Amino acid sequence: MTPADAAFARLAERYLDEVVPLSPVGATRLGDHRFDAELDDVSPAARDQAAKIYRALLADVRKIPKAGLARANQVDRQLLIKDLEHGLFELEEVREWAWNPLVYTNLAGGALYGLIARDYAPLPRRLEAAASRMEKLPRFFEQVRRTLEPARVPRVHAETAVQQNPGTLSIVTDGLRPAFKAAPPKLRARLEKAAAALEVAVKAHQAWLEKTLLPAAKADFRLGADLWERRLSFVLDSPLGRAEIRKRAEAELERVHADMLEASRKVLSRWEPAHVVPRAPTKAERLAAIRAALEVVYRDLPDDARLVEVAREALRRTTDFVREKRLLSLPDDPIEIIVMPEFERGVAIAYCDSPGPLESPSQRTFYAVAPLPAAWTADQKRSFLREYNLVSVDDLSIHEAMPGHHVQIAHANRYPSKLRALLASGSFIEGWAVYAERLMVDAGYRADDSRMRLVQLKWYLRSVTNALMDQDIHAGKLSEAEAMKLMTEQGFQQEREAAGKWRRALVTATQLSTYFVGYQEHADLRAAAEKRAGKGFDPRAYHDRLLSFGSPPGRFARALVLDEPIPE
């Protein structure tokens, strides 16, 4: 180990010891359980302390010369610099702490959910931590009300917070309270007292959200071109900027429509042979043919009461296929499909909740599926189920689990440097999941059913329209009507999916670009690796090598896989 490598190793330990504890809830998610009894401090003093730590670490990491580091540490040095700069940018310039109540609903719900969801420690020990956090949550809510500036809060953020806030109590009711009986009498009494006080605090906070925050929440939901582009540069850490992303996305929109037309011809020839598609269709005829083929797909809808079981069956099929085709090495990490916790709903239909990089690999991954809202009309429920038809649930399960997020993150969590795992790239992670969707279909998944290729292409269109909407909303003036038209007419999304995506786009500026950019980088790297290897290209060996490097941004993954110089 060189002196530079030794100095960097010490700095990485400082990051773990100084930055991770800034959010005890985040530390629990990561698998660092030293702070399970603590709760995040969201006061001005805490923000000042965080900024001080970021600056000190940033100054020290810049003193370590890249040239003296091993290749792996050269990558991690770049990631650490970008992470600390990003932290300061969010804290001091974006300042979501002042205007985004979803930051706090997520922390409040996660504070308890992270303790009860996984059995990383004996139940009494986790209940002790839960009692401590429940006792601290009333203070937390008071801090939140002092911190948020209602006039700066966009209405959509306030509405979503109103929806999510009661989820903290549902965690107590559905997750914690049934476990109280396992606690010793003294701890049980403490838990009951803390739960009662928490119920009062959550209801008081709900009243404030509804009666004070929501009426005053009239700020613009658009991040603005300057902040959006600067955040995008941190989130992606990619040479692909706004203009190139748009150029690629618009080109892909046309290409995918052409591919969908060919897939639609096969679907219609089998299920609707009387439907004639012109040999050289106009644009309108092309879109009409694709819609007609998708109507065939929509004939097979899941029972809304069985969504979790349907996803479970899809997971079994996709797992069997990956093993049969030996597409990549599969870790034996357990995975469980669950109903999405209430405090997480309102942003995405499903997500993969993997164990944190500091957690034991034996802990379960949760593939969470949101139930249909009870308030939806019959037409809204049907719209949703048409989008998440029985073929689409297979694609969803590929993306979230097999061989998507669950498999990729399981590999990443085994990377020797925990710092690399802590600084994971969202675009690498989401890009891999989109890549996995195409990988499976190209490898012959459900090859006897032409609907599968059509659905996979439709799902890829989501990534394309996501990227276009993300920049046109937050760095432009795209209206809801225009966005809905793009998603439903060009992306073939059902109304409920498009409405949900519009809302998601408003509250997650830049995140929706990660799917498309990440996939583009994965596709470009795969093409470069195939070209270099020629006829000797081995997909399984390529996937295993790629995933062995954790989840770095695409430009670093390329350098590592192809043995190129580590970029600045």
Do 464 and 341 share a structural domain?
yes
| Per-residue confidence (pLDDT) for residue 302, from 0 to 100 | 94
pLDDT over 90 at 156, yes or no: yes
Let me know whether 85 and 176 are in one domain.
yes
Residue 35 lies in a domain: yes
Query: Does pLDDT of 518 surpass 90?
Result: yes
Is residue 344 over pLDDT 90? Answer: no
- The rounded percent of the chain whose pLDDT value lies above 70 is 99
Calculate the dihedral angle through the C-alpha atoms of 425, 316, 457, 295, rounding to the nearest 10 degrees. -140
Q: Read off the amino acid at residue 240.
A: L
Phi, psi of 336 (to 5 degrees): -135, 135
Q: What is the residue range of 211's domain?
A: 3-224
* Mean residue pLDDT across the chain: 96
Return all residues near 279 (Cβ < 8 A) that are at least 6 apart.
none
Structure tokens given for 323:
């093993």
Same domain, 98 and 206: yes
Residue 559 in this model has a pLDDT that exceeds 70: yes
Region 141-166 average pLDDT:
97
Cis omega (within 30 of 0) for bond into 416: no
Determine the average pLDDT of the residues in 453-470.
98
Q: Which residue has the higher pLDDT, 558 or 347?
A: 558
Does 46 share its domain with 177? yes
pLDDT greater than 80 at residue 347:
no
Does 476 map to a domain?
yes
For 91-99, what is the mean pLDDT?
98
Residue 278 domain-assigned (yes or no): no
Whether the pLDDT of residue 350 is over 90: the answer is no
Task: Name, in order, each residue with C-beta under 8 angstroms of 285's C-beta and a sequence gap of 6 or more.
Answer: 277, 278
**Size (the chain), residues:** 568
Q: Tell me, what's the pLDDT at 342?
A: 80
Dihedral over alpha carbons 161, 167, 169, 170 (to 10 degrees): 170
Residues 549, 459: one domain? yes
Q: Is the pLDDT of residue 153 over 80?
A: yes
Query: Which is nearest to 325 in space by CA: 408, 449, 446, 445?
Result: 445
pLDDT score for 374? 87
Mean pLDDT of the region 163-172: 95
Q: Per-residue confidence at 303, pLDDT binned at 50, 70, 90?
A: very high
Taking phi first (over 0 means left), then psi (-120 to 50 degrees means alpha), and beta for anything else, what does residue 32 get?
beta
Q: Give CA 461 to chain center in angstroms.
A: 18
pTM here? Answer: 0.95
Q: Is 173 left (phi over 0), alpha (psi -120 to 50) or beta?
A: alpha
For the segment 36-93, what is each residue's pLDDT rounded down to a tens digit? 999 999 999 999 999 999 999 999 999 999 999 999 999 999 999 999 999 999 999 9
Residue 121 within a domain = yes
For the segment 92-120, the average pLDDT, to the nearest whole number, is 96
How far is the C-alpha of 75 from the C-alpha of 487, rounded, in Å? 37
End of a domain among 193, 224, 255? 224
Q: Where among 209, 224, 239 does a domain terminate?
A: 224
502 with 481: CB under 8 angstroms? Answer: no
Identify whether 296 is part of a domain.
Answer: no
- Is the pLDDT assigned to residue 513 strictly greater than 70? yes
Distances (CA, A) of 471 to 50, 241, 430, 476: 30, 11, 18, 7
Token pair listed for 98: 């002042």
The full DSSP string for 426-486 is HHHHHHHHHHHHHHHHHTTTTTT-THHHHHHHHHHHHHHHHHHHHHHHHSS---HHHHHHI
Examine the fold and report which residue of 203, 224, 245 is the final residue of a domain before the chain moves on: 224
Distance, in Å, from the CA atom of 28 to the CA atom of 109, rounded to the nearest integer, reads: 13
Taking 90 as the threshold, does the pLDDT of residue 319 lie above it?
yes
| In contact, 220 and 160? CB cutoff 8 Å | no
182-241 pLDDT, tens per residue?
899 999 999 999 999 999 999 999 999 999 999 999 999 999 999 999 999 999 999 999
Mean pLDDT throughout 427-439? 98
Instruction: Output the pLDDT for position 325.
Output: 98
Is there a domain that residue 99 lies in?
yes
Q: Which residue has the higher pLDDT, 305 or 320?
A: 320
Q: Are residues 65 and 169 in the same domain?
A: yes
Nearby residues of 426 by Cβ (< 8 Å), 6 or more positions away: 235, 511, 514, 518
Q: Is residue 265 part of a domain?
A: no
Q: Are residues 427 and 317 in the same domain?
A: yes
Domain count, the chain: 2
Instruction: Give the pLDDT score at 346.
Output: 61
What is the pLDDT at residue 542? 98
Predicted local distance difference test score (pLDDT) of residue 361: 77
In this structure, of 39-48, 142-151, 413-422, the range with the lowest mean pLDDT score is 413-422
Q: Is residue 283 part of a domain?
A: no
Residue 433: band (very low, low, confident or very high) from pLDDT cuts 50, 70, 90: very high
Same structural domain, 321 and 208: no
Question: Do 550 and 415 meet the contact criterion of CB atoms below 8 Å apart?
Answer: yes
Same domain, 200 and 318: no
Beta strands in 252-334 (DSSP E): none
CA–CA distance, 487 with 221 (Å, rounded to integer): 20
> In percent, how much of the chain has pLDDT > 90?
94
